């Protein structure tokens, strides 16, 4: 069984000591800017705060907190997203499906317990298929 295709890396999760200090650093050193259409996710000031580079090819999701960073968020089209969910279910890898209102994500762990994500901005396509996932919810899909 071959794995479905991915579209690349959507963003990397980074834990930071202070969101505001990290924002200043990424803006001033690397030229990143806040992705305004996703800024509402940072409602409590602890993240995720999504930044992107000038070319809009690299995104970071900043989370204020201790501990290891949370892994890679791979990018997928809507069709790829559905195929990945089915693929991981066939392999009996537990996935958690989340409706973020403008994107869908599935979360899973590798065999070393690293957390990863596959995310898609093809929201309408996925919402038509997974109608019962409520906005803001995280629903376990596999064993």
Give the model confidence (pLDDT) of 64-79 as tens digits: 988 777 778 999 999 9
For 143, the token pair is 């064993």
Residue among 9, 51, 57 at smallest CA distance from 32:
51
In angstroms, the CA 143 to CA 141 distance is 7
For 45, the token pair is 């000031």
Give the model confidence (pLDDT) of 21-62 as tens digits: 999 989 987 889 999 999 999 999 999 999 998 888 889 999
What is the pairing mode between strands 33-34 and 49-52? antiparallel
CB neighbourhood size of 44 (10 A): 8
């Amino acid at each position: 069984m071959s794995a479905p295709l991915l579209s690349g890396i959507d963003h990397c999760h980074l834990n930071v000591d202070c969101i505001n200090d990290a924002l200043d650093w990424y803006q001033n050193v690397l030229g990143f800017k806040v992705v305004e259409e996703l800024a509402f996710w940072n409602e409590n000031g602890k993240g995720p705060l999504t930044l992107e580079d000038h070319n809009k090819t690299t995104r970071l999701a900043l989370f204020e907190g201790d501990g290891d960073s949370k892994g890679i968020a791979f990018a997928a089209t809507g069709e790829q997203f559905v195929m990945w969910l089915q693929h991981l279910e066939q392999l009996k890898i537990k996935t958690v499906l989340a409706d973020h209102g403008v994107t869908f994500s599935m979360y899973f762990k590798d065999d070393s317990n690293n957390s990863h994500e596959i995310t898609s901005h093809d929201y309408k396509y996925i919402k038509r298929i997974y109608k019962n996932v409520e906005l803001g919810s995280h629903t376990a899909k596999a064993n």
